[in-house]
Amino acid sequence: MKRLAFVGILPVAALVLAAFFPLVNAEACTSMFWNTNGQAMLDGRNMDLGQNELPVFYVFPKGLAWSGGTFAKALAWTSDYGSLMVTGLNNRNVSAEGINTAGLAFHSQYLRATQYEKREDPPTPLTKPGVGHLTYGIYLLGKAATVAEALALFYQAQVVLDPNYSDLPQHYALRDASGDAAIIEFVGGKMNMYHGSQFNVLANDPPLPDMPDLMQYTWFGGNLPLPGDNASSARFVRASAFVGALNSPTHPLGTPLPIILFSAIRAMSEPWNSAQLYENPPVFMACWPTLWTIVTDLTNKAVYFSHNLARNNFWIDMNKLNFNTGAPVKSLNAQRTDLIGEVSGLFSSAPDGAISLLLFSD
């Protein structure tokens, strides 16, 4: 009875406290990897952010020369694979999402608990070169063909926090055309890797080991119903259940697989103008709304995209893009309202012709 009484007064208490506590952004993003359908490896993601991220698709051919930043001992590399990246925040080095020509996919998602490995300051000798934390996806997709190869790169180049985006600490998800997957987090200054096809869902805080035990929910054999709120842990539980349900034989015959995954990942969307209740103390926090949703077919090299602000719905056939060495860097504004159907022919030469790209500024 005490618990019921507390639950009954909680909304009232929260409303009172909300008058004294400011509305704070509640982080969000969810990704799901449908790697069990036996036909194609499909990767879906919602981008949830408290500002318009201004996403742009970039075609980066192989053979491009890159720099990891302007800090001491920044890594320099030349890409071995072409990639199709979604960049944001008016910076084409900010890699939110991407897939390369080998079928390796990358996601960068918010994790408040992130603390990157310490990087020694000169004159202390630096043991490893570094790459900025929001450029790291470009590095991985340029140099690795599989999840295993990408994980090895984390030991060769350190992830370095970009002070220009210190309010966007990240953890990463990797998926490939074989169905392999991994999640990489930095907690307490230590890098933690979770590698295996079962790591096919990622949300935000808390870090992966502290997410709820799925086995306590009815879907997985427990007693609790699936949570319906928009907290990160609730989205993680629902996404884990939904991705396991997609292989149901009851889907209408002929339904394209990308549509099926689109319908599932959108169930984890954050509504606009919504808030969620946090505890200790109880306070409403404004949610970051879902700006856009993407589904990537790693097997057939196709990308499907929809932006909620632009109200567009289009797809990109990567097989029609030129990723060969010497090809031009091309871009496509993902918020164009006229985008519908297959749009690979609408890419144009990127306005900035620089090839060696830097993330950090003095």
pLDDT for 91: 84
C-alpha 334/C-alpha 176 separation (Å) is 24
Per DSSP, 354 falls in state -
pLDDT for 9: 33
Task: Single out the residue of 311, 360, 309, 331 nearest to residue 51, CA to CA.
Answer: 309
Phi-psi region of 315 (alpha: psi -120 to 50; beta: other; left: phi over 0): beta
C-alpha 345/C-alpha 336 separation (Å) is 14
Q: What is the pLDDT along the chain (362 residues), one digit of tens a residue?
A: 333 333 333 333 333 333 333 334 445 799 999 999 999 999 999 998 887 888 999 999 999 999 998 888 899 999 999 999 999 888 888 898 999 999 999 999 999 999 999 886 555 566 789 999 999 999 999 999 999 999 999 999 999 998 888 889 999 999 999 999 999 999 999 999 999 999 999 999 999 999 999 999 999 999 999 998 888 999 999 999 999 889 877 666 678 899 999 999 999 998 887 776 665 566 767 778 899 999 999 999 999 999 999 999 999 999 999 999 999 999 999 999 999 999 999 999 987 543 334 333 22
> Pairing mode, if any, of strands 25-26 and 283-287?
parallel
Provide the whole-model pTM.
0.87
Residue ranges of domains in the chain, CATH in brackets: 12-349 (3.60.60.10)
Centroid of chain to Cα 322: 25
Contact 28, 168 (CB under 8 A): no
Return the SS3 of 46.
strand
pLDDT for 360: 31
Contact 347, 331 (CB under 8 A): yes
Tokens standing for residue 40: 């194609």
> Pairing mode, if any, of strands 130-132 and 158-160?
parallel
Please name the residue ranges forming H helices in 64-182: 136-143, 147-154
Beta partners for residue 184, in sequence order: 172, 193
Q: What residues contact 217, with CB distance under 8 A and at least 6 apart?
A: 224, 225, 226, 237, 241
**Measuring CA to CA, how many Å separate 281 from each of 7, 8, 176, 235?**
14, 16, 42, 22
Phi, psi of 265 (to 5 degrees): -70, -30
**Measuring CA to CA, how many Å separate 321 from each of 34, 46, 107?**
25, 24, 21
Q: Tokens 């999640």 identify what position?
A: 183
